[in-house]
Amino acid sequence: MFTHIRTRLAILYAGLFALALGLVAVALYIVIAATSERQVRDELVASSTVFDRLLELRTRELGNAAGLLSRDFGFRAAVATGDPGTAVSALDNLKARLGLRTAFIVGMDGHVAGLSDPRQRADAAALWTALDAGRTSGIAGLGGVPSHVVAAPIMAPNLVGWVVFANDLGPDQMHRLEQLSAIPINARVLVRRQGHGWTSGERSPDDAAIASFVDARIGDGTPARLDEESGTAIALARPLQGMNDGESAALLIRYPLAEALAPYLPLQIAMGMTGLIGLILVIFGSWRLSLSLTRPISLLDHAAQRMEEGETVEVKVETRDEIGRLAQSFNRMAGGIAEREKRITQLAFNDSLTGLPNRAFFRQHLDLELRQAERRGSRGLALLCVDLDNFKAVNDTLGHPVGDELLRAVATRLSASVGDAMVARLGGDEFIIILSRRDAHEAAGQVAGRLIAALAEPFEIAGQELSAGASIGIAMAPGDGADADTLLKHADLALYQAKGEGGGTYRFFEDEMNARAQSRHRLEADLRRAVAGGEFELYFQPLFDLETNRIGSFEALIRWNHPTRGLVAPDEFIPLAEETGLIVPIGSWVIQEACRHAVKWPDDVRVAVNVSSVQFRKPGLANILMQALAASGLDPKRLEVEITESIFLESSEALIAVLHSLRNMGIRIALDDFGTGYSSLSYLQSFPFDKIKIDRSFIQQMLSRSGSTAIVHAITDLARALGMETTAEGVENPEQLAELRLHGCSSVQGYLFSRPVKAAGVFAALDASNPRRDVA
């Protein structure tokens, strides 16, 4: 019903207080009314008693006076001798002395002397019977007015008449009685002649009610309620001694209840006022109290709403009570939520390793920047895609902890070098920088140059000096792309370009890069088709055994007969196949095809296949080899697997285990392109290769650079010491051959002997180079 607690509380308290106050007021009123009514009743009874007593006193007083007069000799003489003038003058004399209104003489013969009003005379004459019966006092109507009548017989010496004193009991006289009372009562005396109603000396609208009240209550004598026109009164009626037979008299004392309660009016007003003030205070107080109670709740409510809308809020703790503790708990809860939100945001938007913004954050930021740039129009925006050149090697050789350390150091150095531009880590060793400037193009070049210089500086990590080196691709907005995806792709292409050019440099994106990328995509699609369509063909290049002077083995080399582009060199598609993973089916095909051909060759001629590191990383290489051998029936001893040093960049015990399992199958293992890696010699330690193939770069420089000869010599010596054969690659002239013979190289391979030939050409090659075979 009420949406606010404070309203409910205020109404509840005010209602309860008003109820209690009302009950008190009612109780007080009842008590007051009962008390005052009882007081009035008591007072009425007391007043009536006083009236009786007064009447008695007056009776005695008048009786004494009348008695004295009646015994006065002169008066008696006057009355007895029929001298009314004298008698009446004596009466007047006494009236003046006693302060009487009325005094008269009733003779034995009924004659009345001393009254002039005919009505009074008639009423006075009517007293004779009562006087004759010996009554000397009572109430009787005289001229319509209730009067107190006191008589004394005149004995002269026999009874000749009565002296009668009458005191009218009209309003004036009764007023004197009323004044004697403690409370302002209203008294009146009523008389009733037989057959008539009650009459009194005064007239009022309540006469009828009074008359019926007197009739009803006169015998009772206890106060009762009397309903008058002006309100309810407490009244008491009691009989008075009537003078005449057939004439009743009554005293009626009234007291209006309103007047009885009047003295309590100030009390009631005071009660009402204090109640009103109290009620106001209670309303005010409960309002304040409930405010103080509900205000913190409202604050909490409001704070909770704000929190719901995602704001960070804190409620002011004002009290130490439950609500205060609730506020504290709320603050702790809000703080906890904010903390967790922050952490979640951090996790979501920050790279946990470097603390830089992560890819998601970068994307959002880039979108924002692009929108702003779009709004502002001319403002330029550059996207710098940074990739470390040597990170993979560092990670492989020094382990992940060092690599991570290097990434952190790179992140720090990047952040320090780009100023207010944003640096994010996209993953691995790839960082990205958003440069938002008016002259973004020039600035991008400068920044990129500075970054490359900064990252070229060696890092000192874990006590080692490491060189990271970096390549950077740059894409400009909006020229190089309006949306984040395009920009990022183009920056990546530029980076790819820079990498392709040997690294340690930066490149702006150009549209041709896109074209190249597209041709690469096309190539990839073609490659997939080629695997299924049998567009590959194996060529075989013979390896000439210098000790036996014959061809000891062929290296299987893949060629792609592209339907439109013609023959495609392995250099053009093998890296792509390795990137896309297509190398696995292609490699598998090579192995099977090589085995299938080799099994037709003479038993002392081996076949060598190149196996990529990608193939080694995928499980099942051993199975592929085994199936190929089983399918062809080729002796495992006639199969040689050539691996490059790059395989050891991700060297692991698993790799060594795979090599050993191949060896156990009887397959020979040769290390290809030896000498091009960073720690070529250390690889020799990790596995007992069957053969080392010396990289063609050493052979080609052998005659021009003396160091190369020494290296080749050292390699052959080393291999011999380790029990490994050696093959020199890229032998193109007899001088090289002569030198290699001199150094004791096991076999040679190169154009000097033969270019790679088709499978069909293998036998011709064998025939040409192995005349002794024919002899044998």
Partner 1 sequence: MRALALILPALALAAAPAAAGDLVVQVRAAGGAPVPNAVVTLYPGGRPSPLGPAGSYQIAQRDLQFSPFVLVVPIGADVSFPNFDNVRHHVYSFSPARRFELRLYAREQTRSVHFDRPGIVPLGCNIHDNMIAFIDVVDTAFAARTDGAGTARFTAIPGSQVLVRIWHPYLRAPGNQLELRVAVPDHGTAAQAVPVNLRPPPRPGSAY
Where does this chain bind partner 1 (CB under 8 A)? 63, 66-67, 70-71, 73, 76-77, 80-82, 109, 132, 134, 136, 152-153, 155-160
* Least gap, CB of 163 to partner 1 (angstroms): 10
Q: Are 150 and 62 in contact (CB under 8 A)?
A: yes
* Least gap, CB of 168 to partner 1 (angstroms): 23
User: Which neighbouring-strand residues pair with 568?
Assistant: 560
In order of 448, 457, 507, 773, the CA distances from 451 in angstroms are 5, 10, 13, 64
* Least gap, CB of 189 to partner 1 (angstroms): 25
Residues in the chain, total? 776
Q: Which is nearer to partner 1, 54 or 80 (CB)?
A: 80
Q: Which is nearer to partner 1, 75 or 509 (CB)?
A: 75
* Least gap, CB of 110 to partner 1 (angstroms): 9
| Residue linked to tokens 């490149």 | 507
Q: Which is nearer to partner 1, 67 or 445 (CB)?
A: 67
User: Which neighbouring-strand residues pair with 551?
Assistant: 544
Q: Which is nearer to partner 1, 150 or 530 (CB)?
A: 150
Q: Which is nearer to partner 1, 80 or 599 (CB)?
A: 80
CB-based contacts of 213, cutoff 8 Å, min separation 6 = 224, 226, 235, 237, 252
| Residue linked to tokens 């030939």 | 757
Dihedral sign, Cα of residue 296, residue 302, residue 308, residue 312? negative
The radius of gyration computed from the CA coordinates of the chain, to the nearest angstrom, equals 70
Q: Which is nearer to partner 1, 77 or 368 (CB)?
A: 77
Helices (H), 633-733: 653-665, 680-686, 696-700, 706-722
* Least gap, CB of 131 to partner 1 (angstroms): 11
Q: Which amino acid is at 210?
A: I
Residues 687, 682: Cα–Cα separation, whole Å? 10
Q: Which is nearer to partner 1, 159 or 265 (CB)?
A: 159
Q: Are 209 and 227 in contact (CB under 8 A)?
A: yes
Q: Which is nearer to partner 1, 62 or 527 (CB)?
A: 62
In order of 63, 99, 100, 320, the CA distances from 66 in angstroms are 5, 13, 11, 95
CA angle 392, 393, 399 (to 5 degrees): 85
Residues 516, 514: Cα–Cα separation, whole Å? 5
* Least gap, CB of 120 to partner 1 (angstroms): 24
* Least gap, CB of 71 to partner 1 (angstroms): 7
User: Which neighbouring-strand residues pair with 235?
Assistant: 224, 254
Cα-Cα end-to-end distance for the chain? 117
* Least gap, CB of 155 to partner 1 (angstroms): 6
* Least gap, CB of 270 to partner 1 (angstroms): 59
- The neighbour count for residue 95, using CB atoms within 10 Å, is 18
Q: Which is nearer to partner 1, 160 or 461 (CB)?
A: 160
Residues 389, 495: Cα–Cα separation, whole Å? 11
* Least gap, CB of 89 to partner 1 (angstroms): 18
385: nearest Cα among 518, 498, 520, 511: 498
| Residue linked to tokens 């008066």 | 75
Q: Which is nearer to partner 1, 154 or 236 (CB)?
A: 154
Q: Which is nearer to partner 1, 161 or 469 (CB)?
A: 161
Residues 599, 635: Cα–Cα separation, whole Å? 8
Sheet with 159-168, edge to edge strand ranges? 112-113, 102-107, 159-168, 145-155, 137-142
Q: Which is nearer to partner 1, 66 or 236 (CB)?
A: 66
| Phi and psi, residue 198, nearest 5° | -70, 135
Q: How many CA atoms lie within 13 A of 554 on its CB side?
A: 33
Look at residue 532 and give its three-state secondary structure: helix
Q: Which is nearer to partner 1, 159 or 630 (CB)?
A: 159
Look at residue 112 and give its three-state secondary structure: strand
Q: Which is nearer to partner 1, 81 or 329 (CB)?
A: 81
* Least gap, CB of 113 to partner 1 (angstroms): 16
* Least gap, CB of 67 to partner 1 (angstroms): 5
Structure tokens at 666: 């009887």
